[in-house]
Amino acid sequence: MLIDVLIALGAFAGGWFLASPGSMPSGGIGAWLVNGLVFAVLIIIAQLPARVYRHSWRYVSPPDLLRIVQVALFATLGLAAINYLIFRQAMGSGEFYGFAWMLATGGMMLVRSAVRAAREQRLAELLLPFPVKPIHAGKPGMILIGTPSDVEATLREVIDRADFGYEPIGIVLDEDSLSGQGIRGVRVLGSTKVLEAIVDAQTDGAESDIALVFTAPPTSLKGIDSAAIARLRKRDFRILTLPRTAELSESDHRRFRLRKLKLEDLLSRPPVTLPLEPLRTGFRGRRVMVTGAGGTIGAELCRQAAALGCSELVMLDLAETPLFNIDRQISERFTSVKRRALLRDIRDGQAIREVIEATRPQVIFHAAALKHVSLMEDHPRQAVETNILGTANVARAAREFGVGQMVLISTDKAVGPVNVMGAAKRLAEAFVHAMAEEAEGATRFGVVRFGNVLGSNGSVVPIFRSQIEAGGPVTVTHPDMERYFMTVPEAVQLVLHATLEAAKNGGDPAVYVLDMGEPVKIMDMAERLIELCAPAGTESDIEIEITGLRPGEKIRESLIDTGEQLIFATDGLQKVRPNPSSRFVWPDIESLVDYSRTHSAVELFDRIRSDVGRIRGD
């Protein structure tokens, strides 16, 4: 309060001498002093109803500054009114009152902003272009690499955190205009187009403990490709990035941490970025069940549902160890989420009925499936019982017990299927379409279809990596082989958005297709992985061997089938109307299962192919 009194007196004196230099009011020095004190008292009085003093200066914000503008205006107008009522004349010119108001407003704002800046250890940033002492002295240095907004947001987080493990020593941006300037007191060293030269200059070309921290996906930044990252990796730099929201535990939201850059971050296209708030609104407080919870997609669905604040998470799987692992992760990272880990077989219809009746989920993500194409060629009966009968068991129980929504996770191999796995998933889709069309019950049914996910169990990335570590060869089945790829977290986030979209759909059957971008040549991926993972100097020693197509394998996959119609497309998502004949009902499944138990694998595949042809309208 005393500081504001001094500011008011200084503003009064400064306003007078700016407006009337060298002169005094008609009442002399006494009248001048009295008016100054009146102005100071009015400043103090005006702040009481505005509750300015109830807000700590250390946390001053724009609304507080607006109150100061109002307080100074009230005091200035009050002084003019008192002079007119008592002396029947204004004390000075209009310029005097204007100057006094501006000086009082500016002075009070400046002092409060300086207090907050000092609290945030940013006072030197206001006075000097770069800090006079390190932010986190004595810790390893880091260079932040990204867009100006991403870098600024990261610095805002780390500057106040004494437990953060790195000292920001420089910034590299994907634009040239800010080179030599500073962001929150850290110097911009240059552009990402010359990242390697900047790193060399900072380390004198020698080994260093400097960490390179990407605040945006590396391949989305100008001048950075997997070859540049490979060269930096082979020089043993710590290359880090920010964790995705779904990778954060509840405690992680209260601290700031980094994670190592994964190969998947470099092999995929720039990710589709969709808002998280609709997902938080859509899933917070809901009971969620995930079948196949121990698999790659199922486990990520569990992590993201927990991160979004679901009230209860029911994790279902037949594989003991993967189920144990995801249950442990959720228990350690999301302590407020009630959870159940249940060993159940989706082929057992009665067991599925009992668990859904007992847990009453509001949303079911059905991710449980047999997915390996070559294995299913030899085991068509298992594909029928798991991928088709299992889906029907979950969908029927969901309707019976009033589950709000059931979503089937499907695959691009269900489009024009040439293998048992894809054909079984296509018949599972057709059953869900039939359930959606029936008017019984309030359950909404949907299908989400996408291609390969990077780093999933049995996918090409871990296979290629193990072959490279063994010295090669890296095996590719066909030189023209192409596949759609997406990272696991990105795919699951789009699944969640598709689920919210499907909830609005009513009873119309629909397939929600994730925008996978352009297909990637497997040969190109193999070459990039050799470049990234092979020990320095051995890249040319690792050969790529063409082994020939495996049973049931296609050179190219599609995401939308003939006879399907695109209804609309949004960022990352397409809604597709299935073929009108894409209906496979419960008697069809009973008949197919009975057939699978009495006929050979070859005969069963012919029967599956016939059923798929019928639902595709062939």
Q: Among 97-101, 187-191, 372-376, 547-551, whose mean pLDDT is lowest?
A: 97-101
Last residue of a domain, one of 232, 267, 302: 267
Are 74 and 165 in a shared domain? Answer: no
8 Å CB contact between 326 and 293: yes
pLDDT over threshold 90, residue 407: yes
Three-state DSSP state, 608: helix
Angle between helices 2-19 and 28-47 (to 10 degrees): 130
Mean pLDDT of 116-137: 51
Question: CB 339: neighbour CB atoms within 10 A?
Answer: 18
Strands 444-450 and 511-514: parallel
CA distance 452 to 445: 23
Average pLDDT, stretch 586-605?
95
In a domain, 272, yes or no: no
CA–CA dist 125, 130 (Å, integer)? 6
577 pLDDT above the threshold of 80: yes
Among the residue ranges 172-176, 235-239, 522-526, the one predicted with the least confidence is 235-239
Q: Are residues 106 and 189 in the same domain?
A: no
Same domain, 62 and 199: no
Higher per-residue pLDDT: 478 or 264? 478
Q: Residue 410 pLDDT > 90, yes or no? A: yes
Residues 354, 492 within the same domain: yes
Please tell me whether residues 417 and 345 are part of one structural domain.
yes
Decide if 295 contacts 491 (C-beta within 8 A).
no
Mean predicted confidence (pLDDT) in 75-90: 71
Answer yes or no: is 555 within a domain.
no
Does residue 206 carry a pLDDT above 70? Answer: no
| Domain assignment present for 111 | yes
Q: Choose one of 95, 119, 143: the last residue of a domain.
A: 119
Q: Model's pTM, two decimal places?
A: 0.70
Residue 126 has pLDDT above 50, yes or no: no
Residue 124 belongs to some domain of the structure: no
- Note whether residue 554 is domain-resident: no
Please classify residue 352 by burial: count the beta carbons closer than 10 Å to its beta carbon, then call 0-12 exposed, 13-18 middle and 19+ buried. buried
% of the chain residues with pLDDT over 70: 82
- Give 310-357 pLDDT, tens digit per residue: 999 999 999 999 999 999 999 998 989 999 999 999 999 999 999 999
Q: Is the sign of the CA dihedral 290, 293, 295, 299 positive or negative?
A: positive
Q: What is the per-residue pLDDT across 326-335, written as a single tens digit (0 to 9) for each?
A: 999 999 989 8
Q: Please state, in angstroms and rounded to a whole number, the distance separating the CA atoms of residues 253 and 578.
A: 41
> 165 with 224, same domain?
yes
Is 13 or 286 the better-scoring residue by pLDDT? 286
What average pLDDT does this structure show over 71-82?
78
Per the domain annotation, does 542 fall within a domain?
no
Name the residue range of residue 226's domain.
129-267
Q: What is the pLDDT of residue 573?
A: 84
Confidence at residue 123, expressed as pLDDT on a 0 to 100 scale = 47
pLDDT digit string, tens, across residues 388-399? 999 999 999 999
State both tokens at 388: 């088709």
- Asked whether residue 336 falls in the same domain as residue 216, the answer is no
Pair (102, 169) in one structural domain: no
Domain count, the chain: 3
Mean pLDDT in residue range 30-59: 66
**Is 551 part of any domain?**
no
Q: Return the minimum-mean-pLDDT range out of 67-71, 392-396, 526-530.
A: 67-71
Give 569 or 85, the one with higher predicted confidence: 569
Backbone angles phi, psi at 291, to 5 degrees: -85, 150
- Residues 172 and 221: their CA atoms lie apart, in Å, by 11
**Is 309 exposed, middle or buried (CB count within 10 Å of its CB: 0-12, 13-18, 19+)?**
middle
Both 154 and 36 in a single domain? no
The CATH number given to whatever domain includes residue 154 is 3.40.50.720
> Which of 96, 119, 142 is a domain's end point?
119
For residues 152 and 281, membership in a common domain is answered with: no
End-to-end alpha-carbon separation of the chain, Å? Answer: 84
Q: What is the pLDDT of residue 295?
A: 93
Q: Average pLDDT of 224-251?
A: 69
Does the pLDDT value for residue 114 go beyond 80? no
User: For residue 247, what pLDDT is reported?
Assistant: 47
Is residue 149 very low, low, confident or very high in pLDDT (cuts 50, 70, 90)? confident
pLDDT tens across 261-300, in order?
Answer: 776 666 556 666 677 888 999 999 999 999 999 999 999 9
Residue 88 confidence (pLDDT) above 80: no
> Would you say residue 148 lies in a domain?
yes
**Of 217-226, 280-289, 416-425, 483-492, the least confident:** 217-226
- Shared domain check, 490 and 596: yes
Instruction: Say whether both 25 and 44 belong to one domain.
Output: yes
Answer whether residue 207 shows pLDDT above 70. no
Checking if the pLDDT of 569 tops 50, the result is: yes
